[in-house]
């Protein structure tokens, strides 16, 4: 059973692999047929159009641009379609020999493959239209494609036509310049439409400016076409004016928007010229070829260079903005960390580690603030000094952990017993202090009562009951002392008297007892 199941699985996998290969072959064949049909159709249109208007050799041989674009997009897999389309166009439509048609088709196929391969070696797989250095490599690749196609296809064509060898060089030159111009015109446009379409979201914000740019571009083309033959200076100036709106579009928007506009301008100039308008009408056939080919190569290369420079600038600005944002984020993060560290240091410097209450240093600073306010407003405030009764015995008998637990709970109960705007601190050991805003005797007695009652309840720690009571000494500023040490000593004397009288109580400072304690 296992062998049969394994055999069935192998058979299914083999059948599936065969279907996959058949599907791939069918897709490849369909792609080649479509590409061959496109190449053949463009070839027929170009030949019939330029022959009809007696402009041959064609100034822009668009089939070369189609083959270069196909290899640029699809790679070597485009070769069968290009070869088939070129062979059909040369043999069936134009009655060429199979040998000549095969040679021309071979040149038209090998030329873009070699040129794109050399371009990939220098530029890599990334877009060649986003860096200034890559534009130079691209123009060289287009010229290389035209050169190879002319050397192979042009030689077969000249040989089949029976041209003497001295005329081959002129045909090679015409072939190279028309193929190069077509490739420079078509390849970027196809690439932008296929792989890198324009970002219309950013363009919507400047639709008015874009419309003005398009209008100016059309006006510059119209101005060129109104020149008359023979006025060379005006014609040259008008030709340069065509480039200005295109350069502005590439710089202000993107090369993806400027390049279709450039193609439209070239198409309008060529079409109006063959229709009998503009300064180029009546020129010799070869002169018209050179004008349109060189205009396409020069303007296209200039436009691509400026577009790549603008793209590099935008990329650098974007990277700089991201870097600034990252730096700002890091600075904010570092500032927050420093602020947090500062707060932690301040808390460590001014707060007790165990209970979290303000420490003696913080209490002395707040005392200075309370004293300043009291002196300006001629008011008083009370100072309470609190000590836990028999705390040393608890530490000695139950351990320091039990004592720490008692201190933490005592700090919590003390904070609950006073008002929110009163200041509670731990001075050290089992000694706490409170500064009370307001010195009404009844209010102070009520707070002291809450402190004694709240802190006298026992707590449980590690299964043991811990009981302690507070003793409280009360002193009033400035009656019992004007400085920190005077007021502290007064409250300490009152605290001593509370302990002497039985603990778990509060006592007010008395000046007569202070005087008696000072006597020998």
Instruction: Indicate whether 193 and 208 sit together in one domain.
Output: no
pTM of the predicted model, to two decimals?
0.61
Domain final residue pick, 162, 197, 232: 197
In a domain, 19, yes or no: no
Same domain for 373 and 449, yes or no, is: yes
Query: For position 49, what pLDDT does the model report?
Result: 78
Q: Is residue 15 assigned to a domain? A: no
pLDDT attached to residue 472: 96
Concatenating the DSSP letter of every residue in 84-146 gives HHHHHIIIIIS---HHHHHHHHHHHHHHHHHHHHHHHHHH-SS-TTSSHHHHHHHHHHHHHHH
d(CA 451, CA 501): 18
Identify whether 150 is part of a domain. Answer: yes
Q: Compute the mean pLDDT over every residue in the chain, rounded to the nearest whole number.
A: 83
Q: Is residue 218 part of a domain?
A: yes
If asked whether residues 30 and 176 sit together in one domain, one would say yes
The answer to whether 250 touches 258, Cβ cutoff 8 Å, is yes
Task: Among 326, 350, 374, identify where a domain stops.
Answer: 350
- Express each pLDDT in 282-301 by its tens digit: 665 555 567 788 888 888 88
345 and 454 together in one domain:
no
Check whether residue 210 and residue 193 sit in a common domain: no
At 323-340, the pLDDT tens digits run 898 898 899 898 888 888
Q: Is 111 within the bounds of a domain?
A: yes
DSSP, collapsed to helix, strand or coil, labels residue 283 as: coil
pLDDT tier at 309, thresholds 50, 70, 90 = confident
Please check whether residues 344 and 427 belong to one and the same domain: no
The verdict on 369 and 335 lying in the same domain is: no
Residue 333 buriedness (CB in 10 A; 0-12 / 13-18 / 19+): exposed
pLDDT value of residue 18:
57
Examine the domain organization and report whether 339 and 376 are in the same domain. no
Has residue 8 been placed in a domain? no
> Do 380 and 325 belong to one domain?
no
Region 440-469: mean pLDDT is 90
Q: Which of 298, 320, 350 lies at the terminal end of a domain, its last residue?
A: 350
Domain holding 158, by residue range, is 26-197
Is the pLDDT at 463 greater than 70, yes or no?
yes
Confidence grade of residue 475 (pLDDT, cut at 50, 70, 90): very high
411 inside domain: yes
Domain contains 294? yes
Choice among 89-98, 143-152, 236-245 with the minimum mean pLDDT: 89-98
Q: Are residues 191 and 210 in the same domain?
A: no
Do 372 and 346 fall into the same domain? no
* Per-residue pLDDT at 499: 92
Counting the structural domains of the chain, the total is: 3
């Amino acid at each position: 059973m296992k062998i049969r199941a394994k055999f069935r699985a192998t058979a299914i996998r083999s059948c599936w692999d065969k279907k996959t290969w058949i599907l791939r072959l069918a897709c490849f064949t369909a792609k080649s047929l479509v590409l061959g049909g496109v190449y053949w159709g463009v070839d027929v249109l170009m030949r019939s159009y330029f022959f009809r208007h007696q402009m041959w050799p064609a100034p822009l041989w668009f089939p070369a641009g189609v083959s270069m674009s196909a290899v640029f997009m699809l790679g070597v897999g485009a070769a069968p379609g290009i070869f088939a389309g070129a062979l059909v166009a040369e043999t069936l439509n134009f009655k060429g020999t199979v040998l000549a048609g095969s040679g021309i088709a071979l040149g038209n196929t090998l030329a873009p493959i070699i040129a794109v391969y050399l371009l990939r070696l220098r530029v890599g797989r990334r877009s060649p239209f986003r860096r200034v250095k890559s534009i130079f490599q691209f123009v060289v690749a287009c010229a290389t494609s035209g050169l190879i196609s002319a050397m192979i296809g042009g030689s077969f064509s000249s040989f089949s036509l029976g041209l003497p060898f001295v005329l081959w060089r002129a045909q090679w030159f015409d072939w190279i310049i028309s193929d190069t111009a077509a490739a420079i015109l078509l390849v970027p446009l196809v690439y932008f439409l296929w792989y890198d379409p324009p970002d219309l979201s950013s363009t919507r914000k400047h639709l008015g400016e874009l419309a003005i740019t398009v209008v100016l571009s059309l006006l510059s083309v119209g101005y060129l076409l109104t020149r008359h033959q023979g006025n060379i200076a005006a014609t040259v100036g008008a030709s340069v004016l065509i480039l200005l709106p295109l350069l502005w579009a590439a710089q202000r928007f993107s090369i993806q928007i400027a390049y279709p506009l450039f193609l439209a301008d070239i198409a309008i100039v060529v079409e109006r010229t063959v229709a009998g308008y503009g300064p180029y009408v009546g020129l010799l056939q070869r002169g018209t070829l050179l004008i349109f080919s060189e205009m396409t190569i020069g303007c296209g290369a200039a436009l691509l260079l400026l577009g790549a420079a603008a793209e590099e600038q935008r990329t650098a600005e974007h990277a700089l903005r991201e870097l600034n944002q990252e730096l700002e984020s890091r600075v904010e993060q570092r500032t927050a960390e420093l602020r947090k560290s500062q707060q932690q240091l301040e808390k460590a410097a001014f707060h007790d580690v165990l209970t979290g209450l303000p420490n003696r240093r913080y209490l002395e600073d707040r005392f200075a603030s309370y004293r300043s306010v009291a002196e300006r407003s001629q008011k008083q405030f009370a100072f309470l000094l609190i000590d836990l009764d028999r705390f040393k015995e608890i530490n000695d008998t139950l351990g320091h952990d039990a004592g720490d637990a008692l201190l933490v709970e005592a700090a919590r109960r003390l904070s609950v017993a006073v008002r929110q705007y009163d200041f509670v601190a731990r001075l050290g050991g089992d000694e706490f202090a409170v500064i009370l805003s307001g010195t009404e005797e009844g209010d102070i007695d009520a707070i002291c009562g809450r402190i004694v009652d709240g802190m006298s309840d026992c707590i449980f720690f590690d299964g043991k009951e811990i009981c302690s009571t507070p003793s409280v000494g009360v002193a009033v500023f400035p009656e019992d002392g004007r400085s920190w040490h005077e007021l502290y000593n007064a409250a300490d004397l009152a605290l001593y008297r509370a302990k002497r009288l039985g603990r778990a109580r509060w006592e007010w400072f008395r000046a007569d007892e202070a005087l008696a304690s000072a006597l020998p």
